[in-house]
Amino acid sequence: MAKLLEGKPLAEKIKEEIRKEVSTLEKKPVLASIQVGENAPAEAYVKSQRKTAENLGIEYQLHRLNQETTETELIQFVQELNSDKAVNGIIIQLPLPSQIDYKKISQFILPEKDVEGMHPANMGKITFGKAKILPCTPAAVMELLKETQVDLYGKEVVVVGHSEIVGKPLSLLLLDKFATVTVCHIGTSKAGKLEEHVRKAEVLIVAVGKAGLIKGEWIKAGAIVIDVGINRVADKIVGDVEFEAAEKRASYITPVPGGVGPLTVTMLMRNLVEAAKLQQ
């Protein structure tokens, strides 16, 4: 039976380190959050981010812009925050109204204030193994792997999903640890080869968003399984891996919810402190 890799206790441990770092800074770090219009998911993220930030000694500034804000107006606002020396990090809350393209706007955040690690300059640094600010979800996955004490050198690691925010940057971080990385995606599934790859995985990371995509019986005995997926099925939140069957074969497995999720906001705060240090 697998050990549960829970995100909450690990997040608490990392938060303690962040608190210590914050106490060594000359001034309280400031996170500026932009919310355009009103919607329930963004309200919930903002509330939870504010709580985490304040608890760590970080100042959380919320800037609410109206629903009709244009891309040009939002870019101008981002640029004002870029030149505000008091602001260390900027985050744009999703979802955005339909007239705004997040990908376009997020590139206007200065790389040193891009605490989500999504600016092309920060993504590019991952290739060179020099990134100080990492995208939050891949960083959370790496922390969970560290917790298992697995030596990734030469390990067969399979990543399912090749999105820009999870699969692609994560595969580079794993390569940097000398893992043998296989990245599977929709093409792998359509070619009927997903099972074959998953069965080989000593470490399996799944970030797709399809409940039950990975069958429990495919899991290699003793594998480490990190399930990033979040799916709502009949009023329950589940991952992409068939948990009950996979748990019987894996050595470690993340629960969903309660695995990767609780760590991502912690990674955001860690990036903010890193950004503040780089700026000082």
The nearer residue to ligand NDP, 208 or 253, going by C-beta atoms, is 208
| Number of other CB atoms surrounding residue 160 within 10 Å | 28
Helix axes 40-55, 261-279, angle to 10 degrees: 60
Residue 73 in tokens: 């107006």
Q: 39 exposed, middle or buried (CB, 10 Å; 0-12, 13-18, 19+)?
A: middle
Confirm if 108 and 118 have CB atoms less than 8 A apart. Answer: no
Confirm if 210 and 184 have CB atoms less than 8 A apart. Answer: no
Q: What is the smallest separation between the CB atom of 139 and ligand NDP, expressed in angstroms?
A: 11
The nearer residue to ligand NDP, 11 or 166, going by C-beta atoms, is 166
| Number of other CB atoms surrounding residue 159 within 10 Å | 28
Q: What is the smallest separation between the CB atom of 234 and ligand NDP, expressed in angstroms?
A: 16
Quote the strand ranges of the chain, DSSP E. 3-4, 30-36, 59-65, 89-92, 156-160, 180-184, 203-206, 224-227, 231-233, 236-238, 252-253
Give the interface with ligand NDP as residue ranges (CB under 6 A): 137, 160-163, 165-167, 184-186, 188-189, 194, 207-210, 213, 228-230, 260-261, 264
Length of the chain: 280
Confirm if 242 and 214 have CB atoms less than 8 A apart. Answer: yes
The nearer residue to ligand NDP, 145 or 194, going by C-beta atoms, is 194
- Residues 6+ positions from 276 with CB-CB distance below 8 Å: 25, 29, 88, 89
Q: What is the smallest separation between the CB atom of 136 and ligand NDP, expressed in angstroms?
A: 7
The nearer residue to ligand NDP, 166 or 219, going by C-beta atoms, is 166
Q: What is the smallest separation between the CB atom of 160 and ligand NDP, expressed in angstroms?
A: 5
Q: What is the smallest separation between the CB atom of 140 and ligand NDP, expressed in angstroms?
A: 7
The nearer residue to ligand NDP, 180 or 189, going by C-beta atoms, is 189
Q: What is the smallest separation between the CB atom of 79 and ligand NDP, expressed in angstroms?
A: 27
- Helix then strand then coil, in percent of the chain rounded to 5, is 45, 20, 40
Q: What is the smallest separation between the CB atom of 276 and ligand NDP, expressed in angstroms?
A: 23
The nearer residue to ligand NDP, 133 or 207, going by C-beta atoms, is 207
The nearer residue to ligand NDP, 179 or 267, going by C-beta atoms, is 267
